[in-house]
Amino acid sequence: MSEIIKIVKITGTALPMRGNEIDTDRIIPARYLKEVTFSRMGDYPFFDERYTSDGKKKDHPFNDPEYSGASILFVNKNFGCGSSREHAPQALNRFGIKVIVGESFAAIFAGNCTMMGVPTVTASEKDIQQLIKSVEENPKTEYTVDIENKTLTYGKVKIAIDLPDTYRTALTMGSWDSTTLLRANLDQVKQTAKKLPYMNTFAG
C-alpha cells in the first residue's frame, strides 16, 4: 500500500533563476513533449539555453556546479507562463527541484506543480531579490521552506511566504497525490464502486 506523503518543510540549498515571464517553452523545449514517459525529463530543463547546437555547455545557473544538488529554485515574476504542459514541472522536479519560491506564478503551472508535490510559494519582490542575492553570494547557504507556517528561513533571517490555502492544505495533509490517496482508501473506493450503476448494472 502506498504511503500518503505530507509535505510540511523542505530544507536544502538553492538555485537562482533571474528573469520575468519565463515560460514553459523555455523550461522544456517542445521537441521533448513527444517522449512516452517522464523518466528522462530531468535532463531537459532549459536545454536550449544550457547547451549549444553541438552539445557544449553554456553559462547558465542549471549548469553551474556551485548550485549542484540544489532542491529550491528562486524565480521572479509569472514563472511558468505559456502553455499548460505538465512536462515543465516534471522536468524541474526530476532535475531535483522540490520547491519553487518566486514573486508570482502562472496559475496552471502552479496547479501542475502542486499535483506533483512541488510547492510554488510566493514572496515579495524585495524578499526575492534578497534571496537571489544571498544564494549568488554563498551557494552553500541552506534554506528551510515551512509550508505549514508559511515562512522561509536561513541563518537568522525569516521571510514571509504565501500560497493558496487549497494548495497548502493539500500539501500538508498529503492529499496532493490523488493516486496514493485512492490507494490508501482502497476499501472505500471499492464500496463506492459497487453502488455506481455504470460500474455494475448497465447492460454490456
- Name the CA dihedral angle for 60, 113, 156, 69, rounded to a multiple of 10 degrees: -40
SS3 content of the chain, % helix, strand, coil (to 5): 40, 20, 40
Residues 76 and 17: their CA atoms lie apart, in Å, by 8
Q: Which CATH architecture has domain 9-175?
A: Alpha-Beta Barrel (3.20)
Instruction: State the Cα angle at 193 between 191 and 197, rounded to 5°.
Output: 125
Helix or strand holding residue 148 (H, E)? none
End-to-end CA separation in angstroms for the chain: 32
Q: Which three cell numbers stand for residue 160?
A: 514571509
Print pLDDT tens along the chain (204 aa).
467 789 999 999 999 999 999 999 999 999 988 888 888 999 999 999 999 999 999 999 999 999 999 999 999 999 999 988 899 999 999 999 999 999 999 999 999 999 999 999 999 999 999 999 999 999 999 999 999 999 999 999 999 999 999 999 999 999 886 555 445 555 665 566 666 676 666 555
Instruction: Tell me how far the alpha carbon of residue 13 is from its chain's centroid.
Output: 15
List the one residue out of 129, 112, 113 whose CA is nearest residue 20. Answer: 129
